[in-house]
Structure 1
Amino acid sequence: MTTTPVSDRQTQREEALIETVVASFDNTPDARLKEVMQSLTRHLHAFVREVRLTEAEWNTAIAFLTDAGHITDDRRQEFILLSDVLGISMQTVAVNNEAHGDATEATVFGPFFVDDAPLIANGGDIAGSAPGQPCWVEGSVRDTEGNPLPGARIEVWEADEDGFYDVQYSDDRVAGRAHLVADDEGEYCFWGLTPTPYPIPNDGPVGKLLDAVHRSPMRASHLHFMVSSPAKRTLVTHIFVAGDPLLTSDSVFGVKESLVLDFAEQAAGSPTPDGRDLGSRTWSRTTFDIVLAPEA
């Protein structure tokens, strides 16, 4: 980066301002809040000084954040998208989910989780009215010692084959999401949809940012999981489809090799695990064995 040299006098002026702002947080009663705000102040000022941010650029940034706030509502969270595409979401996941034995790796939460998804029985169908190829998903939930975790709660949600989650439609549909409970052996199974790639919402300020820097908004094909059990660390993760060409360019950096699974294509008319008649439709199947780490 080429910048105009900064004089000693100017450097002293800038550093004095930093120390004044940092000191303004000295009387913060919450020690953690004080630590975070003082560190944030130092890093933000360092950024401004490193790139020699212009006032026009500062105004553009304020307008960007204002637009992100305006487009955010109870169905759309533009600030999560911004965090995702900057890799901050994945870095936060990494910091808060240290490796523990063979515990399943975590990845980004994403902006489309909804509380109170319907309960389905093992072998039930999360797809509802969502279009797509049927997919049989099965596996187990165990701890890092290999013990089954009966009763583990498994939240699952995904986009349809058109690339949309149910909350992106305006008709209040509930499709492509549900929760289920692991059985007495810690096993689970359900019907969903074979994951397909889709773009993150790119009609707002985050989409304009990606376009400006020539980055794709596309996410690799995936299915979301959130798995919880008493005394275990709640796992938020995805599984990804082996062979997807987007695995190396996922727009939110969410792919981890351990989460890439084979989704085996099944011919039309092939017997299904539960005897479901799919007529002339093809389907796929995969196995995802989940290992939960103990609570920190």
Structure 2
Amino acid sequence: MSIDNTVATDREHAVTAEVLASFDKTPDPRLRDVMGSLVRHLHAFARDIRLTPPEWEAAIEFLTRAGHITDDRRQEFILLSDVLGLSMLTVAINEAAAPGATESTVFGPFFVDDAPEIPLGGDIARGAPGCACYVSGRVRSVGGEPIVGARIEVWEADADGFYDVQYADGRSAGRGWLRSGADGGYRFWSVLPAPYPIPHDGPVGDLLTATARGPMRPAHLHFMVTAPDFRPLITHIFLADDPYLDCDAVFGVKENLVVEAVHHTDTPAPDGSHPQGGWTSITFDLVLAQADGH
């Protein structure tokens, strides 16, 4: 029996060695390293769990379904990366140490390239349901200097827990971009973020159900900030006291990104308006780290 086991093990490792050798002439050294590591780890995984043909077929079917459900408005593979923690691990690996800078978190599957531009103090909600929310702060360097003209992309789900791209009518709501002012300040109207489930009507949802995991994300607002000579920042701000802060389906919560939303009833908003039903405000500075070489 031990001889048979040894022969079987040798056969398994011979397959891995043959596949690794097939990448030896890859011209790009980084691609060669990536493919070699991928093959070694993937084959080790299969040996470790003793992968069966039905399990292999189920995995292929799962990935095929993920491909079929993905389109220009839904990215199931990003969703899969998120729920497996790969997205946050990639952030952790690549987030260079910059004490004082705003921390990064997951990008998520709902960003779009053609969001409308809004002026300082403008409205990204544009009809999205929810309590009016005034978001403001400064874009600044770690040293405190204002960053003028930074591009700030913002997107969020509405009070019903849906992003605009999840509706079938082609609406654009709850997203936009603006530039920081002469003092680095930014401000805009939105709606108060609400917790919501990630899309769980596809293969990723089936995976969550099979593993007794929930699909909920705590209430948050997405930011992507870019400025010359600074590292791009992709982050969220999360609402304090949200019941899902400790069980985010995509592991994106960081303590320094949790903020308080202040509720206002009788006081006018900073722009002098009086939103019907009251309003909320969030203040958060976006602090960028300098790019390498600057």
Task: Say whether the fold is shared (TM-score over 0.5).
Answer: yes
The residue number in structure 1 matching 2:29 is 31
Contact persistence 2:263–2:278 (CA under 8 A): yes
1:180-195 to 2 correspondences below 5 Å: 180-195=178-193
Tell me, yes or no, if structure 1 residue 275 matches structure 2 residue 272.
yes
Tell me, yes or no, if structure 1 residue 285 matches structure 2 residue 276.
no
Q: Residue type of the partner of 2:95?
A: N
For structure 1, list consecutive stretches of 5 or more residues without a partner in the other structure.
1-5
1:109 is displaced (CA, Å) by: 0.5
Contact persistence 2:26–2:32 (CA under 8 A): yes
The residue number in structure 1 matching 2:5 is 7
Tell me, yes or no, if structure 1 residue 247 matches structure 2 residue 245.
yes
Cα-Cα RMSD: 1.4
The residue number in structure 2 matching 1:3 is none
Between 228-237 and 116-125, report the one with greater CA deviation.
116-125
**Which whole-Å CA distance do the structure 1 matches of 2:76 and 2:211 have between them?**
18
**Which whole-Å CA distance do the structure 2 matches of 1:98 and 1:14 have between them?**
39
Q: Residue type of the partner of 2:19?
A: V
- The correspondence for 2:227, drawn from 210, 226, 229, is 229
**Which whole-Å CA distance do the structure 2 matches of 1:28 and 1:65 have between them?**
26
**Which whole-Å CA distance do the structure 2 matches of 1:47 and 1:294 have between them?**
39
**Which whole-Å CA distance do the structure 2 matches of 1:129 and 1:272 have between them?**
18
1:116 is displaced (CA, Å) by: 2.2
Tell me, yes or no, if structure 1 residue 44 matches structure 2 residue 42.
yes
The residue number in structure 1 matching 2:119 is 121
- The correspondence for 2:144, drawn from 129, 143, 146, is 146
**Which whole-Å CA distance do the structure 2 matches of 1:221 and 1:18 have between them?**
45
**Which whole-Å CA distance do the structure 2 matches of 1:278 and 1:134 have between them?**
7
The residue number in structure 2 matching 1:106 is 104
**Which whole-Å CA distance do the structure 2 matches of 1:126 and 1:234 have between them?**
21
**Which whole-Å CA distance do the structure 1 matches of 2:53 and 2:98 have between them?**
46
Q: TM-score, normalised by structure 2?
A: 0.97
**Which whole-Å CA distance do the structure 2 matches of 1:142 and 1:277 have between them?**
30
1:73-92 to 2 correspondences below 5 Å: 73-92=71-90
1:176 is displaced (CA, Å) by: 0.3
Tell me, yes or no, if structure 1 residue 202 matches structure 2 residue 195.
no
CA deviations over 1:107-161 (Å, ceiling 9, x no partner): 0101111112111111111100100011111100111221110000100000001
Q: Residue type of the partner of 2:281?
A: R
Between 36-45 and 139-148, report the one with greater CA deviation.
139-148
1:13 is displaced (CA, Å) by: 1.4
Tell me, yes or no, if structure 1 residue 178 matches structure 2 residue 176.
yes
Q: Residue type of the partner of 1:243?
A: D
**Which whole-Å CA distance do the structure 1 matches of 2:198 and 2:34 have between them?**
30
Q: Residue type of the partner of 1:14?
A: E
1:67 is displaced (CA, Å) by: 0.5
CA deviations over 1:197-255 (Å, ceiling 9, x no partner): 00111100000110000100011110000000001111000000000010000000000
Contact persistence 2:267–2:274 (CA under 8 A): no
The residue number in structure 2 matching 1:238 is 236
1:170 is displaced (CA, Å) by: 1.2
**Which whole-Å CA distance do the structure 2 matches of 1:277 and 1:201 have between them?**
35
**Which whole-Å CA distance do the structure 1 matches of 2:117 and 2:97 have between them?**
31
For structure 2, list consecutive stretches of 5 or more residues without a partner in the other structure.
none
1:97 is displaced (CA, Å) by: 1.1
CA deviations over 1:62-83 (Å, ceiling 9, x no partner): 0000000111111111000000
Q: TM-score, normalised by structure 1?
A: 0.96
**Which whole-Å CA distance do the structure 1 matches of 2:238 and 2:151 have between them?**
21
CA deviations over 1:251-270 (Å, ceiling 9, x no partner): 00000000000011222x32
**Which whole-Å CA distance do the structure 2 matches of 1:116 and 1:193 have between them?**
20
* SS of structure 2 residue aligned to 1:252: coil
The residue number in structure 2 matching 1:211 is 209
1:8 is displaced (CA, Å) by: 2.0
**Which whole-Å CA distance do the structure 2 matches of 1:270 and 1:10 have between them?**
76
